[in-house]
């Protein structure tokens, strides 16, 4: 089943050059796919199109078989956007952050026992149970990212989308995050769409890497990558 499908998609903002050109891409159920490429190459725009947050200039984007902007059941998606410094300064605990991911399922309703169980499970899966009552702004960058992943998992999604999740964290934290995502992918059978200009940490785990520079310039197994792309420093080029 195609979880995401781009069909002859082009996209450009009104005031600038095209961001994406002639894009055809499918993401299958259960895949762990990495989107890589330089900053400004179109990765975040591609994710926003996939989630229905932007409308293509031409072509169409399907999400779970429906036009992405018209998807009725948004709870099937867990989305980790690029980190907001405002959110990190807010005086909220890990559990409060994760609860917000579950509350989105039932706005203006009290959380019930199954909701609390899902929240506890999400926090435990990312290894933050001992820190659940700790203010988010007292955690390391890697721990903060785990909290936001738990927030995305709290709704028990079918698709987990992560945009630059390793920004601002050290190499050790990047490797730990990659191992966590592999475990979540295996245990939950969730489809993962992971975008970053630094993909070295997840390379051993992903099924496919798609390199984006306005167009798709590579789509295949990590072992088939041109040698220059195995050095993360070249991803900034």
Helices (H), the chain: 43-50, 85-89, 94-103, 113-125, 141-153, 171-188
Residues in a beta bridge with 62: 5, 67
Structural contact between residues 206 and 33, judged by C-beta atoms closer than 8 angstroms: yes
Residues in a beta bridge with 60: 7
2-236 CATH, one of 3.30.930.10, 3.40.50.300, 3.40.640.10, 3.30.465.10: 3.40.50.300
CA–CA dist 19, 4 (Å, integer):
19
The answer on pLDDT for 232 being more than 60 is no
Write the CA distances from 163 to 7, 116, 135, 148, 206, integer angstroms. 22, 27, 23, 12, 15
Cα dihedral 60→63→66→67 (10° resolution): -30
What pLDDT does residue 63 have? 97
What pLDDT does residue 84 have? 53
Residues in the chain: 237
pLDDT tens digits for range 148-201: 999 999 999 999 999 988 887 888 888 999 999 999 999 999 999 999 887 788
Q: Which of 205, 229, 234, 223 is nearest to 34 (CA)?
A: 205
What's the pTM?
0.88
What pLDDT does residue 83 have? 67
pLDDT tens digits for range 61-81: 999 999 999 998 888 999 998
């Amino acid at each position: 089943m195609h979880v995401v499908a781009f069909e002859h998609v082009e996209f450009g903002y009104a005031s600038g050059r095209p961001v994406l050109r002639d894009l055809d891409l499918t993401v299958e159920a259960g895949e762990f796919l990495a989107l890589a490429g330089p900053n400004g190459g179109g990765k975040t725009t591609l994710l926003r199109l996939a989630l229905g947050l932007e409308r293509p200039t031409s072509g169409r984007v399907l999400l779970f078989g429906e036009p992405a902007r018209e998807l009725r059941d948004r709870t099937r998606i867990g989305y980790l956007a690029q980190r907001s410094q405002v959110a990190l300064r807010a005086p909220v605990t890990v559990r409060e952050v994760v609860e917000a991911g579950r509350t989105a399922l039932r706005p203006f309703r009290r959380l019930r026992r199954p909701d609390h169980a899902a929240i506890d499970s999400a926090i435990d899966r990312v290894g933050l149970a001992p820190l659940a009552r700790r203010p988010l702004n007292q955690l390391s960058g890697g721990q903060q990212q785990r909290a936001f992943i738990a927030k995305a998992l709290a709704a028990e999604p079918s698709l987990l989308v992560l945009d630059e999740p390793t920004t601002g964290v050290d190499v050790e934290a990047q490797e730990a995050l990659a191992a966590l995502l592999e475990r979540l992918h295996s245990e939950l059978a969730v489809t993962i769409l992971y975008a970053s200009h630094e993909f070295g940490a997840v390379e051993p785990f992903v099924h496919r890497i798609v390199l984006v520079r306005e167009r798709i310039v590579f789509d295949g197994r990590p072992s088939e990558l041109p040698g220059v792309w195995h050095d993360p420093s070249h991803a900034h080029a």
